[in-house]
Structure 1
Amino acid sequence: MSSPIRLYMSMSLDGYIAGPDDRPGQQLGRAGGRLFNWLDGRKSGGPSGQVYREAPATGTVISGWRTFKLAGRRQGDHHDGVPILVLTHYGDEGGDGDVPPGHARFVTDVEDCARQARAAAGDRPVMVQGAGAVRAVLRAGQIDEMEIHLIPVLLADGRRLFDHLGPDHIELDLVRRLEVRDVTHLRYRVRRPGEAA
């Protein structure tokens, strides 16, 4: 099997991945930092530590342009030099007329991006980040798994993850559930259309 493309995202119970007014200097929006309190347990031997230690096994990152820009263009690096494929409508110069730094490349076609990401990842998973990129890759039928870090908070406003997916529903199979006090780590397999449970 080729490398799985996996969404990794911390999300509030009401579906937000950032609070309102996310912008440079306030990348997670107002109150959005609450979604990452679970990282306080990343050095533990518990479930959150396990999930955190799995992320560096990523072979390639697919990022949305907005996420890439808010993250300071990742200074051209992410996860020790793995390729970063930035989905953008702007072509080779991204959205600011500049070439991508370091290990980053701009890609405009979603399916081509998925092919490049799988090829570059080898036998490791591909990480997808950013609401816009997630929706585009999911609509294209290219996401294999979803790793959702579900946080017991209602943000009530901000940037939602699963808005505007299109008319077709998507079936998911739960393959892992790890629970601690401040987060439930859920991994789902995305079922292909017509595939039985």
Structure 2
Amino acid sequence: MGYIASGISMSLDGFVTGPGPTRDRPLGERGEVLHRWLDEPMAPSDRVHLAGMRGRTGAVVMGRNGYAPYEGTAAGPLGTTPCVVLTHSPPKPDEVGAPELFTFVTGGIAEALERAGELAGGKDVVLHGASPVQQALRAGLVDELYVSLTPVILGSGTRLFDNLEGVHVQLERLQVVMSPGVTHLRFQVRR
């Protein structure tokens, strides 16, 4: 299946979207502030962090709502990196802008990660979005958590660590990278 990591920006109060996310606006109200650190000019430490993560990534697993901004396009969140989309109802083939880039699975997180591992070419599989991260944590299938902690309090939205009742995850801190607009935290999941 390969090495599985998350890569996500989060507010200080634990939200990865603002309130009211929709398919048309997946980051919800005010959620774009979470990714402000990605705007140019990017801090040198952020550039190094992002380049390292992108360089290790061979495939992305995302939910159907995470796919919405890329529907009908020829690129995903990491350009032409293969994406596996978890969904209950895949789109019709003629609705997919880049069928060679997006693979749709309906069998759950284990199937999505297995397929992404095949597509990753020996590189990491990165989880994109709260729901895939939560599903993989519940299944015990996450190796690392990368969280880019932004200095903002959103008050509501989608929490990264919701829906984990009864799940105990022990983490070991591997890296902390601080820059003016974000703190990158990297943890290994201990088994």
TM-score when normalising by structure 1: 0.84
Give 2:186's aligned residue. 187
- Cα distance in 2 between the residues matched to 1:53 and 1:74: 26
Gaps of 5+ in 2: none
Equivalences for residues 129-144 of structure 1 within 5 A: 129-144=128-143
Report the CA distance shift for 1:66/1:173 in structure 2 as closer, same or farther (over 3 A): same
SS of equivalent residue, structure 1 residue 178: strand
Give 1:34's aligned residue. 33
Give 1:108's aligned residue. 106
Please, what is the CA RMSD of the aligned residues? 1.9
Of 28, 47, 50, which residue of structure 2 is paired with 1:49? Answer: 47
Q: How many residues in Structure 1 have an aligned counterpart in Structure 2? A: 184
Give 2:165's aligned residue. 166
Amino acid at match of 1:16: F
The answer (yes or no) to whether the contact 1:41–1:48 under 8 Å persists in 2 is no
SS of equivalent residue, structure 2 residue 61: strand
Deviation (angstroms), 1:121: 0.9
- Cα distance in 2 between the residues matched to 1:47 and 1:77: 26
TM-score when normalising by structure 2: 0.87
The answer (yes or no) to whether the contact 1:77–1:104 under 8 Å persists in 2 is no
- Cα distance in 2 between the residues matched to 1:88 and 1:42: 35
Equivalences for residues 4-153 of structure 1 within 5 A: 4-40=3-39, 43-44=42-43, 46-57=44-55, 58-69=57-68, 71-73=69-71, 75-78=73-76, 79-90=78-89, 94=90, 97-99=91-93, 100-102=96-98, 103-109=101-107, 110-153=109-152
Identity, % of aligned positions: 33
SS of equivalent residue, structure 2 residue 183: strand
